[in-house]
A and B are shown apart, each in its own frame.
Chain A
């Protein structure tokens, strides 16, 4: 796959290094000459120096033949323009834009940016997971908001503790996908027994979270 990365900051660098490690063809466009030189030393001869919002620079970088264009600069205006040019002018396979300021999210969506990665929101969610005592924690929220992957530690007070999966009255729309016990990863079937202390991962719509909490981690038995 050919991936064109625009923006050679920390995100662009790590993305490029990871993709190169997996054997993909990569170009990183970086505007600052000193940063570009540093990148060149770190990832090799895949760096193009230039302003990645300019059509001529994107063309030189092979935007039209890119399977993926990833606009990951620290500037939302640049990322929006790169995504628009990649999708609508160069007709690259797929465009992904980094959203730096979550306040710009609705605009990016209205402009039809397909892959939207909100770095600040992801960080905020991860930190929230660490600092809050929420018993049902969101690991991954799908972009349309209809469902999320959540984790819950099964409480000894739960009626589900010690039961087989098929004996538990799971809230509507939820699906148990993993049951972790210590270092052991179990893909559950109806005959899997879940016990207190197991970490359960489920797909669940947001409205099912209170029901999941009272089922799996109730405050009182």
Chain B
């Protein structure tokens, strides 16, 4: 399977290494060449340096023939733009977008994105680690409160 990963932070690099080791055809895109060093010397997939929303960069990453695209940068606006570019310019259907600020989870979903809601995943895991009696809320936070 060809999998294109946009954003080579610690999470992106981890996902890329594991999927490549498992035998997938992995391509990683990051605008910062030093971020790509996180992949390590044993990574044998493709790497592309440049902004993930740029048409020529996405062409180099051959997203049009990707089975899946995973957008994992830590900037929500960039993730949104990358997802739009991948779907609108290249017609990729399976695109998953990381949500960094929990505010974006409902609106990204409303705008039609398949979201990877990291804050909620962490919350969910923490809840399960708590003793059963602990009040854990429903994940909503009043607007304007600090995070």
**A contact set with B: CB distance below 8 Å:** 53-56, 59-60, 75-78, 80-81, 84-85, 88-89, 103-104, 106-107, 110-111
Contact = CB atoms under 8 A, between A and B. Distances in A.
A106 B89 contact: yes
B104 A77 contact: no
A54 B88 contact: no
Given A76-B53, A107-B81, 5 more contacts: A54-B103, A75-B77, A84-B80, A84-B111, A110-B84
A182 B77 CA distance: 50
A89 B107 CA distance: 7
User: Chain A interface mostly helix, strand, loop or mixed?
Assistant: helix
**Closest A-B pairs by Cβ, 10 of them:** A110-B88, A77-B77, A77-B81, A81-B77, A56-B143, A77-B78, A78-B77, A81-B80, A53-B77, A80-B81
Interface of B: 53-55, 75-78, 80-81, 84-85, 88-89, 101, 103-104, 107, 110-111, 143-144
A85 B107 contact: yes
Given A56-B103, A56-B144, A107 B80 contact: no
Nearest to B143: A56
Contact of A55 (B55, B88, B104): B104
B55 A103 contact: yes
Contacts of B144: 56, 60
B84 A89 contact: no
Looking at B107, B111, B143, the one whose CB has the most chain A CB atoms below 10 A away is B107
7 contacts: A54-B103, A56-B143, A76-B81, A85-B111, A89-B107, A107-B55, A111-B88
A108 to B, nearest CB: 9
Given A77-B53, A106-B55, A55 B77 contact: no
Contacts of B104: 54-55
A81 B81 contact: yes
Contacts of B107: 55, 85, 89
A80 B111 contact: no
Contacts of B78: 77
Contacts of B55: 103, 106-107
Contacts of A88: 110-111
A56 B105 CA distance: 12
B85 A107 contact: yes
Nearest to A73: B77
Contacts of B75: 77
A76 B55 CA distance: 14
B89 A107 contact: yes
A81 B76 CA distance: 9
Looking at B55, B76, B77, the one whose CB has the most chain A CB atoms below 10 A away is B77
A111 B103 contact: no
Nearest to A53: B77
Contacts of B77: 53, 75, 77-78, 80-81
Contacts of B81: 76-77, 80-81, 107
Contact of A80 (B84, B89, B103, B110): B84
Nearest to B104: A55
A99 to B, nearest CB: 12
Nearest to A89: B107
Nearest to A90: B107
Nearest to B51: A77
Looking at A59, A77, A89, the one whose CB has the most chain B CB atoms below 10 A away is A77
B72 to A, nearest CB: 15
